[in-house]
Amino acid sequence: MIDALGRVRDHFHQAGYTVAGVRELLGPVAGGALARDEIVPALRATRGGSPLEAITRLFWLQVGIPEAGPLTDDLVAAGLAERSAGEVRATVHVEPLESVGGDPGIGYVVSDLKVRPGGEAPLRLDHVVGAGGASANLAQLVVHRPVENALDLGTGSGVQALHLADRARKISATDVNPRALALAQMSFALSGLRDVELLKGSLLDPVRDRTFDLIVSNPPFVISPDGRFSYRESGLPGDEVCRRLVTEAPSYLVDGGWCHLLANWLHIGGRSWEERVGGWFTAGGCDAWVVQRDVQDPAEYAELWLRDSCETGTAEYRRRYDAWLDHFERENVTGIGFGWISLRKGGTTVRVEELRQGVEQPVGAYVEKIFDGMAGGERFSTGALRTAAGVVQEQIGPPGAEDPERIVLRQTRGLRRAAGVGTVEAALAGVCDGTLPMEPLLEAIAELMGLPADDVRAHAQAVLPELIADGFFEIAGR
Ligand SMILES: C[S@@+](CC[C@H](N)C(=O)[O-])C[C@H]1O[C@@H](n2cnc3c(N)ncnc32)[C@H](O)[C@@H]1O
């Protein structure tokens, strides 16, 4: 089977089976329809009979294709397709993967066939999910630095391990689902990724007493009343799976090691979600950055995940929806947050925040800088500062007015934060280029504004740590 997978890889290369290749073949209309689970336009766009059209019909549209010599022979021999009623049909979904930087050829991801709304078969309980928006989200967050060893916890199709291959010398991948481990192994073989250590077991159990430079996980974070599907639900109550991972992961990291995960957390009536989730890090040992990217109310959440398992409109739909809402009501849940958690072993700074705006991707390219800023703001004294690249100033006020009502510093890069500032900070942003120490700059600003130098100095000392932590200013020399 391994040899056959190698031959299939050659067929894929020859056919141009890449993300860009499929996108170009389908075009925006058929591609857009397929994203909405409508295959008719894509069927029309792939009628030519080329190898790329055959492969796309097989794995994306999940329709039978005619025998096509060595291509279909090798697909069957590799266990990716089977012969049925004179045709060849896919047994799994195989999709090309590009890197977060757009490198087109980092591998192929094997997962279970897509179950479409109204499809004949329901989702299997051990379904293995493919590379979707969430997995791309996590891949974009992961720090860009070479590491000796990395752990992909809950590997599923193996997609995160494939993303890690450009930076980790050794990769371990775990899952509770044996089917996931089998499909991940096929993904690795098909992608030419050798020597990934595959381990069966729950959470960190399979790697007890070991340490890693990098841990990544897109865990089964979905909070549901019954925990039916292992690809998304852990069976633990509420958001316990995420709490457990972030409290246990630090013991599995080397000093300076990183952990990144996607998570859901509950908003409980009468409690601040920031304090509740921030409380997961009280044991210390790591700098932690928690970012809420989205919040849904209980009804939106139940609908989203019933849609995800293609149960919308089924006979069971109303009962399940009702049970989900009952569950949330009992637990006094007012909303469910979705976001990222990153840890860096060694510090004690915890930052919990909401960022709903589009951010520059991939975050992993500058996440170290974010952590340095988070920890460095408090350490700021009087050294030289540099205004971060891409910071612009906006002035808001009535037309024609001499002075603005509000000054905003806005990042056009990175996390794209905005901060309302005073004239002192705005003036500093205009002159801080990393070459001059603060003292003469503050004196010059005080003189220009006709203010006592001590007041300007005290103001700067009060407001700059936060602006440094938020990435508007950087400590020169870092
Ligand atoms: C959301 S999928 C993520 C798959 C893949 N890593 C990705 O990024 O797309 C979650 C994975 O965690 C696995 N899983 C579920 N419960 C687990 C547990 N207790 N310990 C480890 N893995 C678990 C599931 O089988 C599934 O493959």
Mean pLDDT of 422-441: 91
Q: Whose CA is nearest to atom 2 of ligand 1?
A: 231
H or E element that contains 141: helix 133-141
pLDDT at residue 42 above 90? yes
pLDDT at residue 56 above 80? yes
Q: Whose CA is nearest to atom 15 of ligand 1?
A: 230
Give pLDDT, residue 203.
98
State the distance from the centre of ligand 1 to the C-alpha of 133, rounded, in angstroms: 15
Give pLDDT, residue 2.
72
State the distance from the centre of ligand 1 to the C-alpha of 344, rounded, in angstroms: 22
Pocket of ligand 1 (CB under 6 A): 129, 135, 138, 153-157, 159-160, 174-177, 180, 202-203, 218-220, 230-232, 234
pLDDT in tens, 262-273: 999 999 999 999
Give pLDDT, residue 74.
96
* Nearest one of 464, 474, 477, 290 to 390, comparing CA atoms: 474
- The CA distance from 36 to 31, in Å, is 9
Q: Whose CA is nearest to atom 22 of ligand 1?
A: 154
Mean pLDDT of 206-227: 97
| In contact, 330 and 291? CB cutoff 8 Å | no
pLDDT in tens, 71-92: 999 999 999 999 988 899 999 9
Mean pLDDT of 372-397: 82
Q: Using CA atoms in the order 139, 143, 149, 151, what is the torsion angle rounded to 10 degrees?
A: -40
Is there a cis peptide before residue 362, judged by omega within 30 degrees of 0? yes
DSSP 87-134: EEEESSEEEEE--TT--TTSEEEEEPPPPPTT-SSPPPTT----S-HH
pLDDT in tens, 164-190: 999 999 999 999 999 999 999 999 999
Share above pLDDT 70 across residues of the chain, in percent, rounded to a whole number: 98
pLDDT level of residue 105 (50, 70, 90 thresholds):
confident
**Angle 167-173-175 from CA coordinates, rounded to 5°:** 150
pLDDT level of residue 145 (50, 70, 90 thresholds):
very high
State the distance from the centre of ligand 1 to the C-alpha of 233, rounded, in angstroms: 8
pLDDT in tens, 8-35: 999 999 999 999 999 999 999 999 999 9
- The CA distance from 360 to 417, in Å, is 11
256 CB neighbour count, 10 Å cutoff:
11
**Sequence-ordered alpha helix ranges (H) in 388-452:** 423-431, 438-449
pTM for the model: 0.94
Mean pLDDT of 426-453: 91
- Report in angstroms the alpha-carbon separations of 165 from 146, 148, 151, 255, 421: 10, 11, 11, 22, 43
H or E element that contains 367: helix 367-379
Mean pLDDT of 253-263: 98
**The tokens of 347 are what?**
């510090």
pLDDT at residue 225 above 60? yes
Three-state secondary-structure class, residue 270: coil
Dihedral sign, Cα of residue 387, residue 388, residue 391, residue 396: negative
pLDDT at residue 250 above 60? yes
pLDDT at residue 379 above 60? no
pLDDT at residue 456 above 70? yes
Q: Whose CA is nearest to atom 18 of ligand 1?
A: 202
pLDDT at residue 377 above 70? no
pLDDT level of residue 142 (50, 70, 90 thresholds):
very high
DSSP 413-431: STT--EEEE-HHHHHHHHH
Give pLDDT, residue 376.
67
pLDDT at residue 103 above 90? no
Closest-lying ligand 1 atom to the alpha carbon of residue 202 = 20
Q: Whose CA is nearest to atom 27 of ligand 1?
A: 156
341 CB neighbour count, 10 Å cutoff:
24
State the distance from the centre of ligand 1 to the C-alpha of 129, rounded, in angstroms: 9
State the distance from the centre of ligand 1 to the C-alpha of 231, rounded, in angstroms: 5
Give pLDDT, residue 101.
83
- The CA distance from 290 to 316, in Å, is 36
